[in-house]
């Protein structure tokens, strides 16, 4: 028995009709006057209340209008001789809007490059629009909540600022009044109180600057500052933390390094970078602090022999809440960071017209944090 042969799909004379009728999106062919020439079954199903569609104007059959829609992608496609698209509402028999469809119009060109009509590809995007609208509403709610959070932080930190300042002032007064010959325990307690109050002040300032940085309202109090004594004072202030970890500090400072900057905020950046080096360097580590000056700029660097940074960690440093969990593989260090300090540091440095960055060859290979600012910020 002879084997029955089937023609290839490409040889099927009904191929165009087969494809045309199988596409699940709506397809409508119009002539240059926007009269419907042919539609696929999807369009017939969507607009069954307007059947027959062929021979009617598209705006009459699809939109119940007496003139072309504005904007009309099919008219644009005919005029510009290029594809056009638009999201348009579709209506029920009573004129109520039932949903949305994306209309993609493509000019039809004959062998002589003359435009003879338009092919409309129509896709129902009602559910997509619902989700987009819902997402937009949720984003508005989140934005409102974020504004409330920012306002709360600013108000709360301002409320905390005054009593903490008073406490710090009282401690300084007690230190000045204390008898130099008094028992070491008394002066030790005062030193602990002094360090704690200063830390509270720094935390409050960090929170304030964080909120201002988010709102892009970070204002600088620029003055002439010599960074050399500033760096030395900060190291003296953090000496107790350095001794706790038995770190060695190497200083590479010029005799003087004068810039125009906001002293309190540059101090905040330096403290943040030094505290990071102290936290993420195992005991008996080495931390190098350097200041370099050119005729126009000043560069500050803190290099350590600590746990280092992976490429992934370097990618999220200085971002808002770009917290990382760094641990030394030998198990000496395990610290979670909030990411707030480095984010605020970046905003402060950039407000001075500078740049901040980190370098590391990888885990357990140490790291170096640097920033550079112009001398006349």
pLDDT number for residue 329: 44
pLDDT band, very low/low/confident/very high, at 180 (cuts 50, 70, 90): low
Distances (CA, A) of 131 to 80, 134, 136, 318: 33, 5, 8, 33
Which among 259, 311, 269, 253 has a CA at the least distance from the CA of 277? 269
pLDDT digits (tens, 9 = 90+) for 197-247: 777 777 777 677 766 666 566 778 899 999 999 999 889 888 888 888 889
Quick one: tokens of 270? 């330096």
pLDDT digits (tens, 9 = 90+) for 13-34: 677 788 788 888 888 999 989 9
Contacts of 254 (CB under 8 A, 6+ apart): 228, 291, 292, 293
Give me the mean pLDDT over the 349-360 stretch: 93
DSSP H or E stretch at residue 302: strand 297-304
What phi and psi, each to the nearest 5 degrees, are found at residue 307?
Answer: -75, -10
pLDDT digits (tens, 9 = 90+) for 235-285: 988 888 888 888 999 999 999 999 999 888 899 899 989 988 998 888 889
- Which domains can be identified in the chain, with CATH numbers? 20-124 (3.30.450.20), 125-217 (1.10.287.130), 222-377 (3.30.565.10)
pLDDT digits (tens, 9 = 90+) for 104-141: 999 998 888 888 899 998 888 888 888 888 888 888 88
Task: Please report which residue ranges of the chain form alpha helices under DSSP H.
Answer: 15-22, 41-46, 58-63, 73-80, 126-177, 184-214, 227-237, 239-244, 263-279, 311-316, 340-351
Q: How far apart are the first and last CA of the chain?
A: 95
Contacts of 129 (CB under 8 A, 6+ apart): 87, 99, 100
pLDDT number for residue 92: 66
């Amino acid at each position: 028995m002879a084997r029955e042969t089937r023609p290839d799909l490409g040889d099927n004379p009904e191929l165009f009709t087969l494809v045309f009728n199988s596409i699940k999106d709506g397809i409508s062919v119009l002539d240059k006057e926007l009269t419907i020439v042919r539609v696929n079954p999807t369009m017939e199903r969507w607009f069954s209340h307007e059947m027959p569609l062929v021979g009617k104007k598209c705006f009459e059959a699809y939109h119940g209008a007496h003139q072309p829609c504005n904007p009309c992608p099919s008219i644009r496609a005919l005029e510009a001789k290029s594809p056009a698209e638009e999201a348009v509402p579709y209506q029920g028999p009573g004129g109520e809007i039932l949903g949305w469809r994306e209309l993609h119009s493509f000019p039809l060109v004959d062998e002589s490059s003359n435009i003879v009509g338009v092919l409309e590809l129509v896709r129902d995007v009602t559910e997509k629009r619902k989700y987009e609208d819902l997402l937009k509403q949720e984003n508005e709610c989140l934005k409102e909540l974020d504004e409330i959070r920012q306002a709360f932080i600013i108000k709360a930190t301002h409320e905390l600022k005054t009593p903490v300042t008073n406490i710090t002032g009282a401690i300084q007064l007690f230190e000045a009044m204390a008898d130099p010959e008094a028992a070491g325990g008394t002066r030790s307690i005062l030193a602990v109180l002094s360090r704690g109050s200063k830390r509270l002040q720094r935390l409050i300032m960090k929170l304030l600057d964080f909120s201002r940085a988010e709102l892009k309202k970070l204002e600088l109090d620029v003055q002439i500052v010599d960074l050399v004594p500033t760096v030395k004072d900060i190291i003296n202030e953090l000496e107790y933390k350095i001794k706790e970890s038995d770190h060695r500090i190497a200083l590479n400072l010029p005799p003087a390094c004068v810039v125009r900057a906001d002293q309190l905020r540059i101090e905040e950046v330096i403290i943040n970078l030094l505290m990071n080096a102290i936290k993420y360097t195992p005991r008996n580590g080495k931390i190098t602090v350097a200041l370099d000056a050119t005729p126009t700029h000043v560069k500050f660097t803190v290099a350590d022999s600590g746990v280092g940074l992976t490429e992934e960690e370097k990618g999220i440093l200085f971002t808002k809440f770009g917290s990382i969990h760094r641990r030394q593989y030998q198990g000496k260090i395990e610290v979670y960071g909030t990411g707030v300090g480095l984010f605020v540091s970046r905003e402060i440095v950039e407000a001075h017209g500078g740049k901040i960055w980190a370098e590391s060859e990888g885990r357990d290979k140490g790291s170096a944090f640097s920033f550079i600012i112009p001398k006349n910020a």
